[in-house]
Amino acid sequence: MLAEIKGLNEECGIFGIWGHENAAQLTYYGLHSLQHRGQEGAGIVVAHQGTLQGHKGLGLVTEVFHNETLQALNGAAAIGHVRYSTAGGGGYENVQPLLFRSQTGSIALAHNGNLTNAIDLKLQLEAQGSIFQTTSDTEVLAHLIRRSQAPTFKEQVKEALTYVEGAFAFLLLTEKELYIALDPHGFRPLSIGRLGDAYVVASETCAFDVIGATYKREVEPGELIIISGEGMRSERFAPMRPRSICSMEYIYFARPDSNVDGINIHTARKNLGKRLALEAPAEADIVTGVPDSSISVAIGYAEETGIPYELGLIKNRYVGRTFIQPSQSLREQGVKMKLSPVRGVVAGKRVVMVDDSIVRGTTSRRIVAMLREAGATEVHVRISAPPITHPCFYGIDTSTREELIASKYTVEEIRQIIGADSLAFLSQEGLLEAIGRPDHLPLRGQCLACFTGNYPTNISRARLPFTAVK
């Protein structure tokens, strides 16, 4: 069951714009700034003169789009998507936006999140004769809309949104309107901005900065926004609940220059580092962070402790989709891929190595060994999050529970497994206070499910919309 749901998991980035003559180009730059959220595939759909046109492909934004393909996408409204590189699944047909044409109008869908009842909904829809084109959970929404007997398209969208469960941030483009929807718990970030008269929407605010747009506000949990020639209207498809925004966006996923729900990521991470320094200081000569997400944390840790911050680890910038993995034998001979230690920096030093998480432990063990081989005399590992003990069902591709090292071992056992001289995780309180949006505040909550197992939604059952309808 977990494996099946996992198959649909994905973390992604979405971008939309309404009312600008260079809609496709701006979506290209917006997606480009969201590239860290997904490198498997990218796509753009534009609305132009009563039709939807799109282009998508496997690879990076710059691999999928060339000048001619982009030029061909005329129109003043567009949505775009970058897709996370999942191990097993994938394939061209799952690259978004998904485009569904019919003789009465088309819809394009871009989605970030994970629908926890997608499998069940799909089974029911298929039993009633629907044919699916993809293995993506996103397609379920299109079928629910098309099956709805509600009188207007907006009502059909609203009805469909009441059937899906889990975490979702949807952009839906028709020939005439742009719909924006965020799930009732607001797991994923989604912000609204303006660029002159145009409206923009994006998973992260860095996409606004890159195109020169101005941030306006967050999309609210349970909100349905409709943008058209008449401007922007806000409605609700579900009552507002306390927000459960994903902690991992702050810890490692979002870009340092983004503000997620109003909080700057670099600053949040630096605060995590400072708090970590107070909770778990170390006797050491240098502090180094695992690039890219832990650089800010390490700087904060160094600043708080006074230990110098150094570049002890280098990330190779060009490891992409087409990188040829070294064979097992070459790996054993010492061929490194993504990360190299800086021998000239760490040799003979006691090193504090700051990272954002330990999932299975294999990566941490490898980095610790790498630092020792490069001459580090001690390696003290500091993690800027509590131990991950439970899988995520809301769009972060962590792992099944069996694979999570922290669900089976104590901190001391993990220390031994990864070979560190000392190991410390940030406390839950430390996490909440450093980020500054404590759990108890109404409407400004934060999802801690992967640390606690307290899932904000019911993940064991799936609502059965069509049996009721029939």
206 assigned to a ligand binding site: no
d(CA 156, CA 147): 8
Give yes or no for residue 212 binding a copy of itself (CB under 8 A): yes
Give the shortest CB-453-to-a copy of itself separation in angstroms. Answer: 29
**Of these, 231, 320, 438, 453, which contacts a copy of itself (CB under 8 A)?**
320
356 assigned to a ligand binding site: yes
Give yes or no for residue 443 binding a copy of itself (CB under 8 A): no
Residue closest to 254 by CA, chosen among 292, 219, 223: 292
Q: What DSSP line would sit under 285-346, residue for residue?
A: SEEEE-TTTTHHHHHHHHHHH-PPB---EEE-TT--TTPPPPPHHHHHTT---SEEE-HHHH
Residue closest to 390 by CA, chosen among 459, 320, 289, 468: 459
* Residue placing its CB nearer to a copy of itself in the complex, 318 or 460: 318
* Residue placing its CB nearer to a copy of itself in the complex, 278 or 337: 337
Number of residues interacting with a copy of itself: please give it, by CB under 8 A.
86
**Of these, 49, 322, 328, 460, which contacts a copy of itself (CB under 8 A)?**
322
* Residue placing its CB nearer to a copy of itself in the complex, 152 or 322: 322
Give the shortest CB-127-to-a copy of itself separation in angstroms. Answer: 8
* Contacting range for a copy of itself; rule: CB under 8 A; set: 6-14, 26-34, 236-244, 385-393: 26-34
DSSP 8-state class, residue 156: H
Give yes or no for residue 7 binding a copy of itself (CB under 8 A): no
**Of these, 295, 392, 418, 426, which contacts a copy of itself (CB under 8 A)?**
295
Residue closest to 226 by CA, chosen among 178, 174, 192: 178
236 Rama class: left (phi>0) / alpha (psi -120 to 50) / beta: beta
Residue given tokens 């998973």 in the structure block:
203
Alpha helices in 37-152 (DSSP H): 61-64, 67-71, 118-127, 138-147
d(CA 288, CA 295): 8
**Of these, 7, 55, 57, 63, which contacts a copy of itself (CB under 8 A)?**
63
Fill in the amino acid letter for 414: I
Hey, which residues between 111 and 170 contact a copy of itself (CB under 8 A)?
122-123, 126, 129-133, 135, 142-143, 146-148
* Residue placing its CB nearer to a copy of itself in the complex, 266 or 390: 266
Give yes or no for residue 319 binding a copy of itself (CB under 8 A): yes
Give yes or no for residue 204 binding a copy of itself (CB under 8 A): no
* Contacting range for a copy of itself; rule: CB under 8 A; set: 22-30, 44-52, 243-251, 457-465: 22-30
Give yes or no for residue 77 binding a copy of itself (CB under 8 A): no
Q: Is 12 part of the annotated catalytic residue set?
A: yes
* Contacting range for a copy of itself; rule: CB under 8 A; set: 157-165, 252-260, 391-399, 436-444: 252-260
Give the shortest CB-14-to-a copy of itself separation in angstroms. Answer: 17
* Contact by Cβ (8 Å): 447, 246: yes
Residue closest to 10 by CA, chosen among 178, 159, 135, 193: 135
Query: 3-state DSSP call for residue 105?
Result: coil
**Of these, 2, 72, 150, 335, which contacts a copy of itself (CB under 8 A)?**
335
* Residue placing its CB nearer to a copy of itself in the complex, 265 or 290: 265
Give yes or no for residue 257 binding a copy of itself (CB under 8 A): yes
Give yes or no for residue 461 binding a copy of itself (CB under 8 A): no
Catalytic residue among 8, 12, 60, 254: 12
Q: Is 435 exposed, middle or buried (0-12, 13-18, 19+ CB in 10 A)?
A: buried
Give the shortest CB-259-to-a copy of itself separation in angstroms. Answer: 6
Give yes or no for residue 191 binding a copy of itself (CB under 8 A): no
d(CA 122, CA 203): 26
Q: What DSSP line would sit under 430-459, residue for residue?
A: HHHHHHT--TTSTT--EE-HHHH---SS--
Give yes or no for residue 231 binding a copy of itself (CB under 8 A): no
Give yes or no for residue 206 binding a copy of itself (CB under 8 A): yes
**Of these, 174, 228, 267, 428, which contacts a copy of itself (CB under 8 A)?**
267
Residue closest to 111 by CA, chosen among 63, 160, 73: 160
Cα 179-181-186 angle, rounded to 5 deg: 160
Is cis: bond before 97, omega within 30 of 0?
yes
293 assigned to a ligand binding site: yes
Give yes or no for residue 33 binding a copy of itself (CB under 8 A): yes
Annotated binding-site members for Mg(2+): 293, 355-356
Residue numbers annotated as active site: 12
